[in-house]
Structures are given as C-alpha cells and as structure tokens.
Amino acid sequence: MPFKIIYTADLHGNEIYYEKLFKKAKESEIKAVVLGGDLCPRGGNSLQEWISMQKEFLENYFIPKILETKKEFYVMVGNDDFRINFKILEKAEEQGKLKVIHKKCHKIGSRHIIGYSFVNPTPFRLRDWEKFEDNKKEEPQRFSGEIIRSIEEEKGTIESDLKEIRKLSNPNATIYVTHAPPFNTKLDIVASGIHVGSKAIRAFIEKEQPLITLHGHIHESPKMSGSYIDKIGKTACINLGSSYPKPLLNALILDLTSLDIKYIEM
C-alpha cells in the first residue's frame, strides 16, 4: 500500500511557501510531512529581535498550523535557525504535536527516518549549527570575523556524530535527512560554481549506502547543476533547492513503499 510523504526545506519563515505546504499536506494521499531545516524567518534590527522573531514564528504560527493539518510532521532545524529556540520544538514533541528528527530515529511508514542539522563551516556569522567535518578543522574564507551564537557551542565533529547516528538503525532501511548536502555532487554547487557540501556526509553515504538521503542548505544548486537528484553508489540523494524570491514552493512527493519520487512546484 502506498505511503506518501511530502518533503521540503529552506522555507525560511516564508508564509506563502508554508501555506502551500500545509494545503498540500491536508490532501488524503499525504501521510506525513518532512521538513529538512531552515524553518524560521530572517530579520530584526538586533540579535535579540531576530531570536524573538523566530521564537514567535515557531510558537504562534508554525506549531499551530501543524496541528491544523492533522498529519504527522517530522522536523529539524538548519543553520539559519537559532539553537536557543530548539527547545520550543522539543517541548512540542513532548506534547505529541510533532517529531523532532535531529539525531533521533523515528518510524515513518514501514521505514525509519533520522535527521542531522549541523552543517560544515560556512562563510556566515551565525554558527549555532556549524561543526567541523573532522579533527582537521578546515575553514572556508569568512565574510566576517564576527561569530554569532545563541547558545554554547556543542563539541564534536560531523564525522563523530555520524558514527553515533549510524548505531540508531540499519542505514539500508533508513531515510537520512541532513541539512548539508554531500560534497562534490549535483546538490552542493553555489553560484560561483564551486562545491561546498559536506565531505563527512559524503563519506558516510559512500560507506553505509542509506535507503535515500534528503538535503537542503544550498538554494541555487539545482539551478547550477540542472538536477535536484544525484546518486552516490546505490543511494539517491536529493536537494530540491529554493525558488526564492519567486512565490514557488519546491517540494517532493516520495512514496516510501515503492520509493517513487515526484518533484513538484507549487
């Protein structure tokens, strides 16, 4: 029997995108919704205003709208979401309103799903959800020397985290949602033409060959490469990108029974 989910990422608090997503989620064929990070809006005249804006969005719009759909939501944050507000999602999970997938394994249909929000270092200031790939601590050229964190830095590397996540389920029967796409694929090309994805995530996919992997983070990559999907060995890896500022939501309908994939723009 089909078990269809809708997946998207990088909505950045855009209510036009969210309204389209929630409307689609209410359709009978959709059994669950998966969100791959960067949930909240950007903006504010100060750091505290920015944090407060995201807090208000989660509490007063995002979670109430989820409850209206009456569908299962599997969510995680991305590198543009302040980590101090992550507790709002954790509380909502405790209340049975949604499922947080960051570093957690959940059943979804007949499969399992695990998420991972941290990304390899970026040129940006906000570093709540950044970690080094490994102990080499390679950094890109930064736009600014300023570092913004809303909470104390979490120790460890992407490589070490993935080793722990590997223990949660059988990768061959698991959907992994990592905000960062794998390095040197059709999914991680920025406007300058270079690849900026995660080498540790690519190594994990190469070794473990998950059922399927879902990503986000690099908005322009599908336009740069001409494809939202790539393969690493037998694993299909997907980054839908973002059509911003166009009012088009990029989404994926995935049948977890047959693994049929359908790309849609709404």
Q: Could you tell me the maximum CA-CA distance found in the chain, to the nearest angstrom?
A: 53
Whether 143 has a pLDDT exceeding 90, the answer reads no
3-class state of residue 194 by DSSP:
coil
Q: In this predicted model, what pLDDT tens digit does every residue of 24-73 receive, in sequence order? A: 999 999 999 999 999 999 988 899 999 999 999 999 999 999 999 999 99
Q: pTM to 2 decimals?
A: 0.97
pLDDT category of residue 1 using cuts at 50, 70 and 90: confident
pLDDT category of residue 100 using cuts at 50, 70 and 90: very high
Question: What are the start-end ranges of the E strands in the chain?
Answer: 4-8, 30-36, 72-76, 99-100, 105-108, 111-116, 174-178, 212-215, 229-232, 235-239, 250-255, 261-265
Which pLDDT score, from 0 to 100, does residue 142 have?
87
Tokens of 111: 């499969």
Tokens of 133: 């790939």
Return the number of other C-beta atoms located less than 10 Å from residue 14's C-beta.
16
CA–CA dist 182, 196 (Å, integer):
9
Question: What are the start-end ranges of the E strands in 137-232?
Answer: 174-178, 212-215, 229-232
Which pLDDT score, from 0 to 100, does residue 141 have?
86
Q: In this predicted model, what pLDDT tens digit does every residue of 160-190 receive, in sequence order? A: 999 999 999 999 999 999 999 999 999 999 9
Q: In this predicted model, what pLDDT tens digit does every residue of 186-202 receive, in sequence order? A: 999 999 999 999 999 99
Q: What is the mean pLDDT of residues 111-126?
A: 97
**Structural domains of the chain in order of their starting residue, each with its CATH number:** 4-265 (3.60.21.10)
Question: What are the start-end ranges of the E strands in 56-205?
Answer: 72-76, 99-100, 105-108, 111-116, 174-178
pLDDT category of residue 145 using cuts at 50, 70 and 90: confident
How large is the C-alpha radius of gyration of the chain? Answer: 17
Q: How far is CA 250 from CA 58, 149, 157, 222, 241, in A?
A: 21, 29, 30, 11, 7
**Which amino acid, 205?**
I
Which pLDDT score, from 0 to 100, does residue 45 have?
87
- The helix, strand and coil proportions of the chain, stated in percent and rounded to the nearest 5, come to 30, 25, 45
Average pLDDT along the chain: 96
Q: Report which of 114, 115, 121, 47 is spatially closest to residue 82, judged by C-alpha positions.
A: 47
**Would you list the DSSP string of 2-27?**
--EEEEE---TT-HHHHHHHHHHHTS
pLDDT category of residue 246 using cuts at 50, 70 and 90: confident
